[in-house]
Structure 1
């Protein structure tokens, strides 16, 4: 599974019934530098990259720090609504008042209120042919055209735009014309 993120796209409200509503936004067409080492590695999500996943209605979870043991909401439970547009993947999650008594939810809301958490990071898989890799003088740019959305997480340090969480293993498969056809992925697992 892959992860990407966006800083500052999380909004929190408490409704009259005591539930907490979280809104987030993962912007498209916002390139980021994932590695600025010997060879610069950049990535960008094209408009509606998650469109098919949003349209198919599959269950997607909102998690704390990509931890499947720390769910906040899900489409299957009816507490997570996703919307895909040309600008961004957006979501609205409703945490029932009962969730406030759960330990990790209390911890999450505390770190969120103190400003320690606030980034958005989707967990995704890129199908064969879902990305394009180009080499330029500045390094390698990966454009994600389509991806399967597995989960969305609230994180401390997202890859978009500010920081990488875990190193990616990138090996471009370049053709003679310099265009990539994809990446070999160690265990098909990437994180940003």
Structure 2
């Protein structure tokens, strides 16, 4: 699973009359995120998620998508399968609204999250996704030089990806393992990614191929 990140300028939390909390967020497309500055000898690496890159799973209501804390499936906040997450796609952004029930508000990690949000410590939305195999979706991504003449950054643009979760994070950071997991070889677009061993995900890819 790969992660992407962006500053969460669009996060909003409101109390409903029922006692539940409504959490609204927005992940904008076409914004370059700097995954690494390259250090002393490396080259900066950036990533751009193009418009509607996540549309495949978002457009299918039966495909479950989760809202998590810090990419941890052990700390869920809401999901489409549970009827507590509404997520929509557009050319500009992915927008979501989650219902955090009164029962969920009593859970320890939810209390911690709400305290962190109140303190202004939640700084980003980060989607968790996979790139489909080349044979399923040709040219799902493209890697190119930002400015070959100057030898500056390498930019990876994602045109199609399988979105499984969106996380609230204190900082949309990228561990080294995440950066290295990406394809950084400039090509004409497209890369063959190994299929996930779980049958459920393979069925998802089969539906995409169909």
Regarding TM over 0.5, the answer is yes
Shift, 1:69, TM fit:
0.4
In the alignment, is the contact (CA less than 8 A) between 2:143 and 2:183 conserved in 1? no
Find the residue that maps to 2:59 and give its secondary structure: helix
Cα deviation digits, residues 22-73 of structure 1 (max 9, x gap)? 0111100111221111211111011001111101220111001111000000
Aligned length: 178
Q: Which residue of 2 aligns with 1:165?
A: 174
- From 141, 144, 148, give the equivalent of 2:158: 144
Supply the distance in 1 between the matched residues of 2:97 and 2:90 (Cα, whole angstroms). 14
Shift, 1:101, TM fit:
1.1
Supply the distance in 2 between the matched residues of 1:40 and 1:91 (Cα, whole angstroms). 31
In the alignment, is the contact (CA less than 8 A) between 1:174 and 1:181 conserved in 2? no
More relative contact order in 1 or in 2 (CA 8 Å, sep 6+)?
Answer: 1
- From 191, 201, 208, give the equivalent of 1:182: 191
Cα deviation digits, residues 169-190 of structure 1 (max 9, x gap)? 1553345xxx4543879x9xxx
Find the residue that maps to 2:129 and give its secondary structure: strand
Q: Pairwise CA RMSD of aligned residues?
A: 1.9
Supply the distance in 2 between the matched residues of 1:113 and 1:174 (Cα, whole angstroms). 42
Q: Which runs of 5+ in 2 are unaligned?
A: 134-138, 197-210
**4+ aligned runs moved over 3 Å, structure 1:** 170-175, 179-185
Q: Which residue of 1 aligns with 2:10?
A: 9
In the alignment, is the contact (CA less than 8 A) between 2:142 and 2:186 conserved in 1? no
Q: Which residue of 2 aligns with 1:97?
A: 102
Q: Which runs of 5+ in 1 are unaligned?
A: 159-163, 188-192
Tell me: CA distance 1:173–1:95, structure 2 relative to 1, closer, same or farther (3 Å).
Answer: same
In the alignment, is the contact (CA less than 8 A) between 1:19 and 1:97 conserved in 2? yes
Find the residue that maps to 1:182 and give its secondary structure: coil
Supply the distance in 2 between the matched residues of 1:97 and 1:181 (Cα, whole angstroms). 45
Supply the distance in 1 between the matched residues of 2:67 and 2:11 (Cα, whole angstroms). 12
